[in-house]
Amino acid sequence: SIIIYSLVMMAFLIKMRIPRNRKIIYFILGILGTIFVNMIRIFSLSVYALKVTTDPEAWEEFHSVAGEIMFLPWLFIFLLIVTAVETKRLKKLESEKTSKNNL
């Protein structure tokens, strides 16, 4: 999932007009979030094997679905947050620029 995250974020950040240092910060925060989501996934896989079933086929089914269920919402929410923060920042910069031009 870190590889998928990296590819998606690189494509996303390349297209956005964000200063390089902010891109690096967003990328690192996203990596940390992805690691956290993976830790939750590994924990839930362990609990599933210990409490629900020890059947390897059932565990494999849960394993294949658990990653998608946890990772995709995380990625979507993170991208929305980055977009919202940057949109707000750009609007603020534009309003400050307009205010200076009106003086």
Task: Output the CA torsion 16→21→24→28 (10° steps).
Answer: -130
Q: What predicted TM-score, i.e. pTM, was given to this entire model?
A: 0.79
Task: Return the pLDDT at 103.
Answer: 62
Residue type, position 100, single letter: K
Residue 3, token pair as written in the block:
């590889």
Task: Return the pLDDT at 97.
Answer: 82
Task: Give per-residue pLDDT as tens, 10-58.
Answer: 888 888 888 999 999 999 999 999 999 999 988 988 888 888 888 888 8
Nearest partner of 79 among 64, 40, 18, 21, judged by Cα: 18
What is the domain partition of the chain in residue ranges? 2-102
